[in-house]
């Protein structure tokens, strides 16, 4: 601690900064990190439900395909020519239904992924803003009213630090 005095730092003040920083980390974990994880878990559940819905649509398409195959067998008994036409129409309808079901499933999956990414970005942005506000408030409380704090400069420094630390992770 004596090594800090030639640098113009008060050891007691340095310890106070460390304690405040630890308290800040604890509060952020308690009030920001856990709710964000809960929100992400809920989004994961919604995505899972969307994927299950897509599977259900695919299964319905398979059921319809089976129904069309039954109609095909009946038409084959009636005549070879009618069976050939029915088979062609059935195959086209089946392919169209499968293509439609795949498109719909992919669309649901893509929308879900995009929505999760947007919500994650919003949560991270909100967390950064809260971190900046807490850090400025903490600085103001630690330094007290005796030292003039340039709040805008503090916000810029903290914002820059958060951006750089975000680039590292």
Indicate the pLDDT class of residue 146, thresholds 50, 70 and 90.
very low
In tens, the pLDDT along 71-129 reads 888 888 887 887 778 889 999 999 999 999 999 999 999 999 999 999 988 988 888 88
Distances (CA, A) of 29 to 18, 113, 141, 168: 17, 26, 21, 20
Give the count of beta carbons closer than 10 Å to the beta carbon of residue 6: 7
Report whether pLDDT(153) > 80: no
């Amino acid at each position: 601690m004596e090594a800090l005095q030639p640098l113009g730092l008060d050891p007691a003040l340095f310890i106070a900064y460390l304690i405040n920083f630890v308290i800040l980390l604890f509060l952020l974990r308690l009030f920001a990190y856990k709710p964000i994880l809960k929100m992400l878990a809920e989004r994961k559940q919604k995505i899972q439900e969307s994927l299950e819905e897509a599977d259900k649509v695919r299964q319905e398409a398979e059921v319809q395909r089976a129904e069309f195959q039954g109609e095909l067998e009946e038409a084959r008994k009636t005549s070879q020519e009618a069976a050939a036409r029915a088979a062609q129409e059935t195959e086209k309808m089946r392919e169209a239904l499968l293509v439609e079901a795949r498109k719909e499933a992919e669309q649901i999956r893509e929308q879900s992924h995009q929505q999760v990414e947007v919500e994650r970005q919003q949560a991270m942005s909100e967390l950064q803003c809260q971190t900046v506000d807490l850090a400025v408030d903490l600085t103001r409380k630690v330094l007290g009213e005796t030292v003039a704090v340039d709040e805008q400069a503090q916000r810029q420094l903290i914002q820059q630090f958060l951006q750089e630390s975000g680039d590292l992770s």
